[in-house]
Structure 1
Amino acid sequence: MPSATRSLPPSRKEPEDTWPPPLELSDETLEERELRLEKEREAKRVSDAIDLALNTEREALKKNAHGAKILLLGAIHCACSKSTVLKNFMLKFSPTTFHAEAEIWRPVIHLNLVRSVNFILNLLSPRSASGSTSPTANSPLDDTLRRLCFSLAPLKSVEMSLTKRISGSASPVVLDSSTTSADSPYAHYHPAKASEISVRSGAGWKGLLKFRRHSNASLRAHAQTISLRLWRNPDVQEKLREEDISLKNQPACTFLEDVARITQEDYFPSPDDVLRARVSTIGPEEHRIPMESSLENGNGKDWIIYDVGGDRSQRGLSSNILDSLSALLTDSIAFNQALAEDETVNRLADSMKLWRMICSNPLLASVDLILLLNKIDILDAQLKAGVQFSNYVTSYKKDLPNETAAVSRYLLEMFTSLHKQHSTKKRKMHPHLTCAIDTKATATVITHIQELILIKILSETSIL
């Protein structure tokens, strides 16, 4: 049966994209044609509106392709705190990935241990690590310490080997301060950072270590000498006290207390070991944390955490991440310490200066801020040891309690007041007292941050 569809003669055919469409029915009246064209125009308008809505939704999905974005800020002396918080995020949201990467931290932990040992050896040498003669160096070492220093001397080459393996740098590690150059890792070798090594962001040091298992035979051979004879030597502890150096307050230096375990051939880093391991990253860095459970944040998306660095030269903000929720970390114990980069600047004063800069930045005016006052455990230990907070923070009256609860409350009030004074417009601030190496307590804080971000995302999508 022939088709009932009528077509125009070849001479009357027009391109398919011609608008309005050509008249196909020769018996269609002018009024019928206008009515048909009006209906087709309306159908096209509806179709275009649907296409526009779909494109808008697609772009919105691209923008919110991740569960959350956090801009992580902090002073330079908070680098290790920020690193530990990042590891806590990984441990909570992506535990499988965290445990899979634990082996990568094995050489880092060994390097932290070796650098701590070499720091002590350097302190016992005739000249201190800073290049000037130390008060304790004027006292001659007894035979026991002299023999210990001689027997542990090979660890200098172990440190150089581990440093090269992790950072990929071929530059030698110089322990003799008389030959230390400006480019040497020891040019900025400060007691507060005695166990850290710096790598540049994006250097891929984890990738270099992923498929390598290094030998720790030399370190294992010296384990007993390190733990039982050097670190626990009363003269060594006395020299550290005289120099006002508290290595026990450095998380990575706790490996000195557990040398036998971490130097075993079959040693596998525990979560606590990974949290205490220290590698300082120079420059801004992006961290993607995959959400292993869709129940964790409601949509199973990745989290992106931007660390722009804490050095004064790294405190610029990138415009493409200013819609992120920001977190500032600052050490609550910093009241009695100076910056390693500028010994004339108090750490607490520098943290407050950075906080004012963040609060007053107009680009961050619409960003909710999270303040983490970290290392509350060390603050507690220092105050209990008799360190007077009022001697360093003169605005804290001497008749006020020199106790953790009162001091931490005062610190929170200081930062809250600065936030109110310097914010360009009213916005929320969420302060927390934290101990980043306490995984349970930090997990509670992270859960609170997660809830805040989820509420923020839902409010921006008009769901709330």
Structure 2
Amino acid sequence: MTRSRFSAETSADPPHWQEILAPPQNETPEQREARKQREARDASHSRRIDEELRADAAEQKKTKEAIKVLLLGQAHAGKSTVIKNLQLAYAKDEWLEERMSWKVVIQLNLARAVNTIIDAIHEELESGAETSLDNTHKMLSLKLGPLRNVQAELEAGLGSASIDDPDAQDADMFAQCDPDTMISVTPPPRDDTPSPHGEFYVNNNMRWQQALKKITPSRSPRAVEDAPPHLRKHVKALEDVTEVLAGCRDEIRTLWKDSVVKALLKSRPDIKLEDSSPFFLADVDRIATTTYEPSDDDVLRCRLRTTAVQEYSFTLAKKDWIFYDFSGSRSARAGWFSYFDDVTAVIFLAPVSVFDEVDETGTNRLRDSMSLWKTLCSEKLLMRAQLVLFLNKCDVLDHKLKSTKAQIKDYFPSFKDRSNDTKTVCKYFRTYFYEIMQQCSPKTGAAVPRTLFAHYTTAVDKKQTAYTLNAVKDAIVRDYLETAKFI
């Protein structure tokens, strides 16, 4: 047999690796010890690399096999509230561990709501128009002035790089703040006082929660005493914020119950309070206290906008699930499409209560949801994904229909002369979204038409939402198994 050139050349003088790797014959004891330490370090480093590679491979396999669900919808649709409900139902220990960290966000929501109302009072008084507001309201505004600084400092501490520009990048300042100046109740070192009308946001939900876990006031005084000095200072700063809110409790209650203020807010549709604001304002005697601890309902109702994609992992029905919570702002929607590949299901939230509202572009907000829904239904990458529709904020819709003269037919002419009650309206919008799906879904030639799981939801109602999510979970698992041909 003819031997290869390589084997012929090497076989004549085979390498003796033992000789090559053997230590020098004249190695001193000191050199031998240094060599052994170096070899041990190299071996340890090699093992770490191998372990990391195995862990990465296992994580990639786990991610590939996980049930992936996208939570989509416009801003303020209720996506993050659904995530909170999932945590409450399926990650109870983590939920309980993080619940106290939401206290700062709830306090911020309360301060922003009050400042929004105070701004409306100032505008009315300075407009020169005839008004029922008087010196009592002026004095009330002055007494509530400290809440302006509370809002500014809580926002700075939580981590917004820009209050008025929701599309700004580098939104997380929390990790960049000097530990000695991160939170304080003194006026911020800038001239422009933040307006409560510009929506505050953070870039990443995980980072601010991790940071706040370190500085949330502990129930144990000893734990605070044993903490590092800069963390003790943060705890003191948050306690000061709580003291300021508690000191303004009576004035906040008076403001919210004032009939003239209520009439002003009702006459000014341009003044937008968060859906949760009435809940917190009406319960100020419980929230604005030095002993306040958030309840589950408080956390479900509080609002904190995020701009980055948030990823959450759960184990449901003995399977790994990954939920992706996306920002619903117009500038962020283009980023949705990069996640459409290999998706098991899409939960789309459409807030039906916004049928009479317009966004910053002048577009009817519910029609904007319908336009987004049309885009998702027609997307070929989602052709095999299970579609789940949450017609959300039915409670807000019910209140609006009962407390105002708003008529659905004025915004959706095809509603015609149907009864303007919540049940009829919800059924109409469900049919509307279903018909969009039928008309816009890609033609596959499948014998069974595309199915839609639609639910009327109030995401802040934890009992109802837990029931709905359980039904959705079962439907998604069944569809997942059918697709995998296991049943």
Question: TM above 0.5, one fold?
Answer: yes
Conserved? CA contact 1:163–1:169, under 8 Å: no
1:244 is aligned to 2:269: yes
Greater C-alpha Rg: 1
Written as runs of structure 1 = structure 2, the 5 A alignment for 1:34-433 is 62-66=62-66, 68-78=67-77, 81-126=78-123, 139=131, 141-167=133-159, 169=161, 186=195, 189=197, 197-201=200-204, 204-213=207-216, 214-215=238-239, 216-227=242-253, 229-244=254-269, 250-288=275-313, 290-291=314-315, 296-299=316-319, 301=320, 303-316=321-334, 317-324=336-343, 325-339=345-359, 341-342=360-361, 344-385=362-403, 386-398=405-417, 400-425=418-443, 426-433=449-456
Q: CA deviation at 1:201?
A: 3.0
Conserved? CA contact 1:126–1:137, under 8 Å: no
Distance 1:185 1:412, change over 3 A: farther
Distance 1:199 1:138, change over 3 A: farther
Distance 1:408 1:268, change over 3 A: same
- Structural RMSD (CA): 3.0
**In the aligned structure 2, how far is the partner of 1:244 from the partner of 1:378?**
15
Conserved? CA contact 1:249–1:378, under 8 Å: no
Deviates more, 1:253-262 or 1:85-94: 253-262
Q: Which amino acid aligns with 2:102?
A: W
Q: CA deviation at 1:298?
A: 2.9
Q: 3-state DSSP class of the match of 1:278?
A: coil
Q: CA deviation at 1:315?
A: 1.6
Q: CA deviation at 1:161?
A: 1.1
Which stretches in structure 1 are left out of the alignment for 5+ residues?
Answer: 1-10, 12-57, 174-178, 191-195
Which residue is equivalent to 2:42? none
Q: 3-state DSSP class of the match of 2:294?
A: coil
- TM score, norm. by length of structure 2: 0.71
Q: CA deviation at 1:375?
A: 0.8
Distance 1:168 1:242, change over 3 A: closer
**In the aligned structure 1, how far is the partner of 2:338 from the partner of 2:59?**
19
**In the aligned structure 2, how far is the partner of 1:107 from the partner of 1:59?**
34
Which residue is equivalent to 1:452? 475
Which stretches in structure 2 are left out of the alignment for 5+ residues?
Answer: 1-10, 12-57, 166-189, 217-237, 444-448
Distance 1:335 1:376, change over 3 A: same
Question: How many residues of Structure 1 are paired with residues of Structure 2 in the alignment?
Answer: 379
Conserved? CA contact 2:350–2:391, under 8 Å: yes
Conserved? CA contact 2:374–2:436, under 8 Å: yes
Deviates more, 1:247-256 or 1:142-151: 247-256
Q: Which amino acid aligns with 2:248?
A: H
Q: CA deviation at 1:462?
A: 2.8
Distance 1:393 1:152, change over 3 A: same
Q: Which amino acid aligns with 1:86?
A: I
**In the aligned structure 2, how far is the partner of 1:437 from the partner of 1:171?**
26
Q: CA deviation at 1:387?
A: 2.3
Q: 3-state DSSP class of the match of 1:254?
A: helix
Distance 1:138 1:115, change over 3 A: farther
Distance 1:171 1:437, change over 3 A: closer
Distance 1:282 1:137, change over 3 A: farther
Distance 1:185 1:65, change over 3 A: farther
Q: For 1:146-184, what per-residue CA distance to the aligned partner results, in whole angstroms no more than 9, with x for missing partners? A: 1101111111111111111112649899xxxxx998xx8
**In the aligned structure 2, how far is the partner of 1:168 from the partner of 1:60?**
33
Conserved? CA contact 1:72–1:305, under 8 Å: yes
**In the aligned structure 2, how far is the partner of 1:443 from the partner of 1:140?**
45
Distance 1:115 1:248, change over 3 A: closer
Q: For 1:218-244, what per-residue CA distance to the aligned partner results, in whole angstroms no more than 9, with x for missing partners? A: 1111111111x2111111111111113
Q: Which amino acid aligns with 2:375?
A: M
Distance 1:408 1:401, change over 3 A: same
Q: 3-state DSSP class of the match of 1:72?
A: strand
Q: CA deviation at 1:70?
A: 0.6
**In the aligned structure 1, how far is the partner of 2:423 from the partner of 2:206?**
42
Q: Which amino acid aligns with 1:268?
A: E
**In the aligned structure 2, how far is the partner of 1:326 from the partner of 1:113?**
33
Q: 3-state DSSP class of the match of 1:211?
A: helix
**In the aligned structure 1, how far is the partner of 2:96 from the partner of 2:352?**
30
Distance 1:97 1:147, change over 3 A: same
**In the aligned structure 2, how far is the partner of 1:363 from the partner of 1:180?**
49
Distance 1:322 1:427, change over 3 A: farther
**In the aligned structure 2, how far is the partner of 1:59 from the partner of 1:86?**
22
Conserved? CA contact 1:247–1:253, under 8 Å: no
- TM score, norm. by length of structure 1: 0.75
**In the aligned structure 2, how far is the partner of 1:246 from the partner of 1:126?**
11
Q: Which amino acid aligns with 2:202?
A: V
